[in-house]
Amino acid sequence: MDFLEAKDPEWLEMWEMLALEPINEGDPICLFVGHCWEYMGSTDDHHHFCHPKHPRTGEKQFAYIERRRAAISWACA
């Protein structure tokens, strides 16, 4: 698994996509009792996030955001 730096061109886009997940209601951070979404790393196909205690559920949540390059390679196959 790779870890993207904040200067990576995909950085802002992956956080914007995370905010679009229905559970997040447009919020890419979802701060709740001192917890927020954490970026865990990226595979060739997805960016991986974990929230230890999501405000909508009160439970640990995981999110897998498809990488742009994965969608492009699928479309070109």
pLDDT tens digit string along 7-27?
999 999 999 999 999 999 999
Which are the contacts of 46, defined by CB distance < 8 A and separation ≥ 6? Answer: 64, 65, 66, 67, 70
In the predicted structure, residue 68 carries a pLDDT above the cut 80:
no
Q: Please tell me the distance from the alpha carbon of residue 76 to that of residue 29, in angstroms, as a whole number.
A: 33
The residue length of the chain stands at 77
In the predicted structure, residue 71 carries a pLDDT above the cut 60:
no
**pTM (2 d.p.):** 0.86
